[in-house]
Structure 1
Amino acid sequence: MAPVWFITAASSGFGHGMALSALERGHTVIATARKTSRIQDLADRGAHTLALDVTWPLADQQRIASDIIARHGRVDYLINAAGYILEGSVEECSPAEVQDVFNTNVFGIMNTIKAFLPHLRAQDAVSRPDGRELRATVVAFGSLGSWEGGAGYSAYGMTKFSTSALMESLHRELEPFRITAVTIEPGYFRTGFLNPGARVVSAERMAVYDDESTPTGKTRAALPAVDGKQPGDVVRGSKVAVDMLTGTGVAEGKKPVGDRIVLGSDCEQVIRGKCARTLSLLDEWQDVIRSTDYPKE
């Protein structure tokens, strides 16, 4: 049987790109979006489409999960691609705006996973090209922002740190059930993510943070300037992600993916820099860090 993919937010970006890549391999794809009219091109290519908003109540998502399993028998790859950026300083973002971005970027993903997990645990394990016997792969999207926060997008960074932590935890929780959990962490890719219609801006704007001599002001000017000029190619990134998840293509013969996939030279650079700075901090303060333990008997 062809592997079955269930993909949220398949109307654009990596959700759309991964759906196309899976379809090109002859896999079964259930693509979702808030409006199915936005994914008609995927339906035209053979995808099954349905309306889904990840912020819908858990009970609604559980009904959808049950219907999908009843119709298709299983889901091999559960891809959570929903998410958006909230631009605004900590002082500007309202509690409601922060709650909204968490509802989509974190809590919605968590509910979709919760809705499917009972079914994924119950289905049979199958052999993967990389030699693993797995029941399913659960995927969510972190980002470069999972590793390094930044002025002007703190709430978004909080959600991406949370998503990567969620998936790292799930990776360990689900291992006994032959289900693997993976975070995909892309750098800046040329998607519609930063388009004016997709980039959400805090309602309150304070002049002090518009000053381009401040870090927040620099970010505020840079985001629209970089839109459409990001270094990452989402078509290539999506194909590589699908290769790495399935153990085929560029991943053939390599060690199976662990709990994360990093995409983009800019994301690699940020992660290497963060790791180097963290190791330097630990080396500098090693004696002080260890001095807080109870004395060894």
Structure 2
Amino acid sequence: MTSQTPVWFITAASSGFGKYIALEALSRGHKVIASARSTSRIQDLAEKGADTVVLDVTSPLPEIKKVAKEANDKYGHITHLVNAAGYILAGAVEETSPQEDYDTFNTNVFGALNVSKAFLPYIRATEGEKTISNFGSIASWSGGPGYGLYCGTKWAISGISESMRAELEPFGIKVTVIEPGYFRTGFLNAGARVNSEQRIKAYDDTLVGQVRAGLDATDNNQPGDVIKGSKVIVDILTHSGKAEGKDIPERVALGSDSPPYIKGKLERTEALLKEWNAITTDTDHK
């Protein structure tokens, strides 16, 4: 890492991981530029010493580029970009509307893409090691009834992040995708979770209905502590604390439930490949 003061730009810093990563970085004496759709939502971060800016990640790219330039001009460099904006769209695929589908991809995927595009010229120009962190989820690994669109966005983020890592490694930029399990944030609160406007009764007695009820029961009862999780993230991205001496990984399986969930998907996939290998691989020209 370079000896210059780390400068963080964080999207969706009004709550959840965005907020607590900002607080953790500030507690270490780092500079933080926190963004949200309204600065009134991040006034508490301003009181802790963060610079605050308005940013809606679904804005047109030229508008995001203006924010990126102003952020870089503030301290002359950006060392850490955190794309934390995202939400869950709950509903069966048949239930969610095309507009709802687009809106969730627009925030969860296109938002992260455009913010990265806007900031990359400045991050590439920054000396030393830099990082870009994109938020995936354990839902990056396995689809599920009642939240298929959310899974789709998080699969996309993980795939894009892996690709960006290979593309940006020559510039000293480490890209990682953070894949948390269930953490006790406001993510599932009524004001944050988006439910499909259409609700088809036929799904009520299926797994979709069970998931709807499960999300309600899980809200505010998740096992993960977002403050502890954010400390681990900052440790990893700065090679400090518990992560001292370690490289920044391609993905961060965050939370006690994340590695077992991922391992389960790997095991199911390996079993599937073994079962069908003799049939599905006999397809080459002879």
Matched residue, 2:239:
247
Structure 2: how far apart are the matches of 1:251 and 1:122? 26
Structure 1: how far apart are the matches of 2:230 and 2:126? 26
Greater than 6 Å deviation, 4+ residue runs: none
Amino acid at match of 1:46: G
Structure 1: how far apart are the matches of 2:252 and 2:102? 27
| 2:245 counterpart SS class | coil
Structure 2: how far apart are the matches of 1:290 and 1:102? 34
Q: Does 1:162 align with 2:156?
A: yes
Shift of 1:230: 0.4
RMSD over aligned CA atoms reads 1.0
Matched residue, 2:279:
288
| Per-residue CA distance 1:231-263 (angstroms, 9 max, x = gap) | 111000000011011110110133x12211111
2:92–2:148 CA contact under 8 A, matched in 1: yes
Amino acid at match of 2:189: N
Structure 2: how far apart are the matches of 1:71 and 1:196? 36
Structure 2: how far apart are the matches of 1:66 and 1:199? 32
| 2:174 counterpart SS class | strand
Structure 1: how far apart are the matches of 2:167 and 2:177? 14
Q: Does 1:105 align with 2:105?
A: no
Shift of 1:279: 1.2
- The within-5 A match list for 1:42-191 is 42-125=45-128, 134=129, 136-191=130-185
| 2:257 counterpart SS class | helix
Structure 2: how far apart are the matches of 1:276 and 1:117? 37
- The within-5 A match list for 1:254-273 is 254=246, 256-273=247-264
Structure 2 residue corresponding to 1:279, chosen from 254, 270, 279: 270
Structure 2: how far apart are the matches of 1:123 and 1:76? 7
Q: Is there any run of 5+ residues in structure 1 with no aligned partner, and where?
A: 126-133
Shift of 1:65: 0.8
| 1:237 counterpart SS class | helix
Matched residue, 2:20:
17
Shift of 1:48: 0.5
TM-score of the superposed pair, with normalisation by structure 2:
0.97
| 1:32 counterpart SS class | strand
Amino acid at match of 1:116: F
**Identity, % of aligned positions:** 56
Structure 2 residue corresponding to 1:202, chosen from 196, 200, 214: 196
* Greater alpha carbon shift after TM alignment, 277-286 vs 9-18: 277-286
Give the length in aligned residue pairs.
283
Shift of 1:123: 2.3
